[in-house]
Amino acid sequence: MIVLGIETSCDETAAAVVTDAREIRADVVLSQLDDHTPYGGVVPEIAARAHLQHLDGLIRRAMAEAGIGFGDLDAVAATGGPGLIGGVIVGVMTAKAIAAARGLPFVAVNHLEGHALTARLTDDVAFPYLLLLVSGGHCQLLAVEGVGRYRRFGTTIDDAVGEAFDKTAKLLGLGYPGGPLVEKAAARAINPGRFELPRPMLGRPGCDFSFSGLKTAVRRHAEELGGSLSEADRDDLAAAFQSTVAEVLADRCARAIRRFKEDHPQGGALVVSGGVAANKAIRARLSTLADKHRMPFVAPPLRLCTDNAAMIAWAGIERFRLGQSDPLNFAPRPRWPLDPDAAPAIGKAGVGSGVKA
């Protein structure tokens, strides 16, 4: 089975060709970073126009790299949501057009399910497993029990962790995108223990997250330094922020592990996915936690943590081989929770909120 995947939910335009033998024949991603950096974040209108301008060319390139024609495809999969709705519409309409012109099945993929199933593409992880999904728009702990079967244990009540990285980077004058810049600054820190920061939700019952107070504490330290930060100040604050985030994530995961094992005494892997999963310090902390609880730890390769179309093609394969596909009147969704039965979070994040995954 060969599937073309299309991803346009935020600020990466991507196309990929993947087989059900877990072979990525082509994986093409065009970043819009230069377009959005002057604004300090993603501008939806700019993102949608860039998708429209570049997607057709990226699809042609992916098909050429895979060495196939459209007649060799078994299905077309595209991100159907959640995300910036203008970009999602571009990808969905392009996929529908290919499907209609070639008589192919169309599969609308939940972007979050793409992240959730990536570990099965890269490591053939068996169900069930515990997933920490951490990105710019989402921070969730989920039991992944099958394709389309997700139970959410916890989510953020305010900022997603990737959003907190971006806002902290902006406060420190590091630039955009925040995640890799904070990580680089933290690696340069001479005195990483210099600043004491609060650890939101640490030790609290449940598995929910909160990061807005942590961001506020970083700002307070910056203001106490007079607002004019030296490079050493920035590096030490970045290190304090990163280590605090890693500690909070590990604490929340530890609670989720106990709950997961109650429901699944046979065990399963601890999987981390999403853009923030590219952070090496967070990976290391979670790997140690998994070892402590005698669980396999799986983190996809860095290039498959951030938004990409290979994960969309694979999620399409997972659904299609179960006999699932979507009609051509499918409506793109700005919000699309993986667990529709989960209670709404208390705060601005809400269920299925955010755009950057």
pLDDT digits (tens, 9 = 90+) for 238-266: 999 999 999 999 999 999 999 999 999 99
340 in any annotated domain? no
CA atoms within 13 A on the CB side of 301: 9
215 and 144 share a domain?
A: yes
Q: What residues form the annotated binding site for Fe cation?
A: 111, 115, 307
CATH code for the domain of 193: 3.30.420.40
Paired tokens of 157? 């009540």
Query: Are residues 136 and 280 located together in one domain of the fold?
Result: yes
Closest Cα partner for 277 from 269, 268, 286? 286
Q: How far apart, in whole angstroms, are the C-alpha atoms of residue 352 and residue 357?
A: 11
Q: Is residue 325 part of a domain?
A: no
Which residues are known binding-site members?
111, 115, 133-137, 166, 179, 183, 279, 307
What is the DSSP-derived secondary structure letter of residue 348?
A: S
> Does residue 284 come out as left (phi exceeding 0), alpha (psi in the -120 to 50 range) or beta?
alpha
Residue with tokens 């807005």: 212
**Shared domain check, 155 and 171:** yes
Share of the chain above pLDDT 90, in %: 84
Are both 167 and 232 inside the same structural domain?
A: yes
- Residue 227, pLDDT above cutoff 80: no
Into how many domains does the chain fold?
2
Together in a domain, 92 and 220: no
Residue carrying the six token digits 């992240």:
115
Same domain, 173 and 288: yes
d(CA 65, CA 144): 32
Interatomic CA distance for residues 128 and 229, integer angstroms: 47
Q: Indicate if the pLDDT at residue 40 is higher than 80.
A: no
Does residue 278 share a domain with residue 150? Answer: yes
**C-alpha span between 76 and 106 (Å, rounded):** 5
Say if residue 42 is in the same domain as residue 25. Answer: yes
Of 91, 133, 127, 88, nearest in space to 112 by CA: 133
Tell whether 345 is covered by a domain. Answer: no
Q: How far apart are CA 117 and CA 207, in angstroms?
A: 21
- Whether 281 is in a domain gets the answer yes
Residue 350 pLDDT > 80, yes or no? Answer: no
Mark the binding-site residues for substrate, compressed into ranges: 133-137, 166, 179, 183, 279
Residues 175 and 42 grouped into a single domain: no
pLDDT value at residue 354: 31
What pLDDT band is residue 357 in, cutting at 50, 70 and 90? very low
In a domain, 175, yes or no: yes
Kindly report whether the peptide bond that precedes residue 177 is cis, defined as omega within 30 degrees of 0: yes
| Same domain assignment for residues 308 and 291 | no
* Apex 302 CA angle, 246 and 122, nearest 5: 110
Q: Are residues 84 and 193 both part of a single domain? A: no
338 lies in some domain: no
Q: Examine the pLDDT at 353 and tell me if it is beyond 60.
A: no
Alpha helices per DSSP H over the chain:
33-36, 44-66, 85-102, 111-123, 161-171, 178-188, 212-224, 231-263, 280-292, 310-320
pLDDT of residue 252: 97
Instruction: Put the strands of the sheet holding 270-273 in their side by side order.
Output: 149-155, 139-146, 129-134, 270-273, 297-298
Q: What is the CA radius of gyration of the chain?
A: 20
Q: How many CB atoms lie within 10 A of CB 255?
A: 19
Same domain, 166 and 82: no
pLDDT tens-place string over residues 191-219: 999 999 999 999 899 999 999 899 999 99
Write out the residue range of the structural domain in which residue 48 sits.
Answer: 2-117+303-320
Spatial separation of the C-alpha atoms in residues 150 and 128, rounded to whole Å: 10
